[in-house]
Structures are given as structure tokens and as C-alpha cells.
Structure 1
Amino acid sequence: MVTRDTSRRLPSYAAGEIDVPFVVRGTEEVIDRDTFWEEHSHPTHELLWNRRGASSAAVGARVWTITPSVGLWIPAGTPHSGRTPAGTWHHSAHFSIRAVPAISDAPVAVEVTPLLRLLLDRLNEEGLAPDSRTKTEALVLDLLVPAPVELLLRIPESPLLAPIVAAVREDPADTTTLAAWASRLGVSTRTITRAFREQTGLGFSQWLAAARVQHAITLLSGGEEIEEVAERVGYHSASAFGTVFRRVTGMSPGRFRSQ
């Protein structure tokens, strides 16, 4: 049976617009088909993470990859959208802004350690005594710290770069060189490089590597073999892919899969 992408629409709230009757409340869902979450915002702070698989969340031109070990903190009232592939075991935790100060005024990656996962699971247990809940919530808040590695891709919004972005996001293995793009777009390679740096902080090749790694993370989280992933994102060998993956994420593809 062929499944089609589904779109979910959620309301948009300002920070604190609804006074929620909890400190931390979690939800979880195994996503049965590729899902796009239309732009929305919550009255609460939100932590997104996955027990299985990789998803993404976008705030403006920034796209974060969310995995079992790297989540995303989204401050209350922040408009965001997202994509979740089929099979992802998706989690979110909402935090009252009355009881929980924001760990950051802007979205930031959060390290989701095994202990943090266990504590968040405990808060979802039925019949948890009030005193135990209070202690568990305090431990959760103590463990919410920015991750050492942020799986973030900035999408340039320049019309000049739009064809490049579209081609790479459609096929990360696209082999069009910087010189070929310059010829196709009728500009110099320096113009393209300058535009990428101004809008993303990266040159063309660095941005291409980051885009490929972001796509590779989703494939690895879906269980594909490292050699297959390397080929699908444009690398002729697993070793070359591993070098780039390690440079972008701080870990090898094998270590990432084991986590």
C-alpha cells in the first residue's frame, strides 16, 4: 500500500496565553506516515526529541535535525514547523512558563541523555505521587542544558541561491560544482560564495556538506547501512563520508547509529 504525506495543523498561541495546570507534561506518538507539521506556536516551552528515528523542525530559515540524543528546545510563543518521517517514535514535553524559566530565549539544541529520557518517562507514569513528581521535575530541569553539537542547517533565502538549495534538498548527491552553478546562474563563483557566507555563515562546500549530513542523519536513523547512506548523499566511499560526518557532528556515523 502506498502512503501519502499528511499535513497537521495546530493553533498558534502567544507565550503564556493559556495558563496550563502543570509544570511538565509529555506526549509521545509513533508516526505512521510522513508528516508535515504546519507552522504553529505553543503557550508553553517545548522540548522535542525522538526515541527512534530523526525528524526536523524549522524556525524561519533555520532547520534543526532532532534525534534520540539531540533534542530541540523551543521557547513559548516561537512559530515553528516540522517534518517527521514515518516510523519515527516522536516525543515532546511542554513546560509551564510560570514555573519553568526558559533555558534560552531562542531555539537551542539540547542533549537528551539516557537519564533525562528516564526522568521524562517517569513523569508520564500514571499515579506518580505529587512529591515524587516535584522531585523528578526538578531533576529534569537540572539536566536541560544546550547540547555540545547542534544539528542545524541555515537555509539561504536569496533568490540567487534558490536553485542550488532546491537541487541539493531534492537530491543531496547532486554533483553540480560551484563553477558549474556559477556558469548556469550567470555569476562568478565569488558571488555565490559571498552570498552563502552572508546568509548561512558557511561557504558553498561547507553548506553542501552540512545539508548532506542532515539528510544522512535521517537515513541512518531509519536503519540504512553506512555505505548505502554515503552513496545516497554523494560520497564515493564510506571513509570520505565518515570524515565529513565527523567534522559536522563531532562523531562518526557508526557512533551516531549506536546512540
Structure 2
Amino acid sequence: MPLDHRQLPTFAADAVEVPFVIAGFDELVDTDTRWSEHSHPTHELLWNERGASSVTVGPRTWTITPLLGLWVPAGIVHTGLAPAGTWYRTSHFGVRAVASISDGPVAVTITPLLRLLLQRLGEEGLSDGSRGVTEAMVLDVLRPADRELIVHVPSAQLLRPIVDAVRADPGDPRTLEVWARELGVSTRTLSRAFRAETGQGYSAWLSAVRTHRAIALLARGEDLADVADELGYASVSAFGAAFRRVTGATPTSFRPRPAGAGAARVGPGAGAPVGPGAG
């Protein structure tokens, strides 16, 4: 399948004065789409109506779903990736009107209330008074999530063979002990290297990588048994238990929802030089 590679500009925070508090945009992508490195003069909140996408900042990649979005403060350089069939939404927040909820990117739980409020801001004919009330309610409920779907990719040369193998095939069955023998080092040396770079042990890092891949497969409607098998789990129940430990939710909660109406650009920010998009 062809890749739609999109270019967006790089803006410093507040480099462009915008005439809104919150402005929204959405798109249903029909091909795999990648956004190159860019940044916005506004804060950005990304989430999906359908499918799983991702945003990368440096060595960290966050998974974005209908349940879990990502807040990216203004001026933060990032890239984005949305597989074909993803229906993403993004809201931009003017920095002069809204303080960032964090110093860096942070996951945001997309609660039913937050979803409805953001969708309401995209309705045509919304009065100034109603818009102001709705924006205030959005800011009142907008807060970082308790969990993040994040993978930190180590850069140490010692770990490169492991990282490359697992990213190519998250179901790779080799344990850290096996990798240590193959690389001619001690298991303790590898464990320390993983913790130094990611803050996690190898098992936790591997679970995060597998969960990242699992969500993408589930969002495409793949069968649970097929996903479990591809990721190296002995059974669906073992996969489900590992998945819940990372996400706090069941795999079925990430399956596609019934298709709704088609997507379109919405809100007064759709044509602004903010560079709206999945990144």
C-alpha cells in the first residue's frame, strides 16, 4: 500500500497568533499516512474516532486510540503515523488563552464527556456564548491520564540487535538470558542497559512493544487468537492478562466501533496556519 508522506512546518510556541481558544479538525485517511517532523504554535490534543495511530517525540512513541489521546504542548517537534482507515481528530488550543496541562507530551483519557464537548465545538452555528461555555467545560475536564501507551526505543549500540529484532517481530521468543548468550554479555549487563535507557526492565519493555503492536492489529479488526499468536502468547487468556497489565483495559475495548458518518474538516481552525493534522 502506498504511503502518503505529508510535510508540515515547524513553529515555535505562539509564533502565530490564532483567533480561537479551541479549534478542531478531523480526517479519515484512506492510505497509510506519515507526518514528518513538525511543531505547532498551539497546544494540540489528538485522539481517534476509529483506529490506532501514533506520535513520536525523540525516542518515545505514544499510541493514540479512541480511548486514549495525546496532549502535545506548543512548539514540541514530533512526527505522526496513521494507518489506512484511521479516523483521527485533533484540537488546537491557543497558548494565550490556555496553559499547557504538562511540560511535555502526555496521555489524556478521552472520556465520553470530553468527546461530546469537543465534538460540540465543531458544530456549525454554535453561538459565541455556547462556545465559551463549552470551551470552559473542556478545560475543566481536560487532564493527564493515569496510564500511557508508550514505547521508549533504546539507542545503545549494545541493545540494537534486540531492539531491531523485537520491533520487526514482537513475538520473538528469545528471553534476555538467550540474548545475553548470543551477544556474549551477562544478563545483568543487558538488564542494566534497558533500565538506564528506558526506566524499565526488559520484560516490561517487551510488553509495551507487544501492546503497541496489538492495539494496531485490534484496531484493524484482527481476531484475538490471531493477535495472541502473532505476538508470541501461548493463549488468548495469557495475551489478555498481559494486555490488561499494560493498558488497564481488555483487548476487546480496542476493537473497531461501528462505522459512523464520514469525517470532514470542522471548526474555525481548519484553514489556519497552525498545520492541523494527525501529528
Q: Mark yes or no: TM-score above 0.5.
A: yes
User: Which segments of 5 or more consecutive residues in structure 1 lack a partner in the other structure?
Assistant: none
User: Which segments of 5 or more consecutive residues in structure 2 lack a partner in the other structure?
Assistant: 258-279
Q: What residue in structure 2 maps to residue 148 of structure 1?
A: 146
Identical amino acids, percent of aligned pairs:
59
Q: C-alpha separation between the residues in 2 aligned to 1:149 and 1:256?
A: 15
Greater shift in the superposed pair: 173-182 or 187-196: 173-182
User: What RMSD over aligned residues (CA atoms) do the two structures have, in Å?
Assistant: 1.3
Q: C-alpha separation between the residues in 2 aligned to 1:23 and 1:164?
A: 45
TM-score in terms of structure 2 length? 0.89
Q: What residue in structure 1 maps to residue 157 of structure 2?
A: 159
Q: Select the residue among 89, 92, 113 that pairs with 2:90.
A: 92
Q: What residue in structure 1 maps to residue 44 of structure 2?
A: 46
What residue identity is the alignment partner of 2:143? V
Q: What residue in structure 2 maps to residue 18 of structure 1?
A: 16
How much has 1:199 moved relative to structure 2? Answer: 0.7
Greater shift in the superposed pair: 174-183 or 56-65: 174-183
Q: Select the residue among 208, 213, 230 that pairs with 2:228.
A: 230
How much has 1:255 moved relative to structure 2? Answer: 3.6
How much has 1:208 moved relative to structure 2? Answer: 0.7
How much has 1:143 moved relative to structure 2? Answer: 1.4
Q: C-alpha separation between the residues in 2 aligned to 1:7 and 1:174?
A: 30
Q: C-alpha separation between the residues in 2 aligned to 1:67 and 1:250?
A: 14
Greater shift in the superposed pair: 227-236 or 39-48: 227-236
Q: Select the residue among 83, 107, 112 that pairs with 2:110.
A: 112
Q: C-alpha separation between the residues in 1 aligned to 2:45 and 2:153?
A: 22
What residue identity is the alignment partner of 2:54? S
How much has 1:258 moved relative to structure 2? Answer: 7.8
What residue identity is the alignment partner of 1:45? H
Q: What residue in structure 2 maps to residue 128 of structure 1?
A: 126
Q: C-alpha separation between the residues in 2 aligned to 1:184 and 1:98?
A: 54
Task: Tell me which stretches of 4 or more aligned residues in structure 1 moved more than 3 Å.
Answer: 255-259
TM-score in terms of structure 1 length? 0.96
Count of matched residue pairs: 257
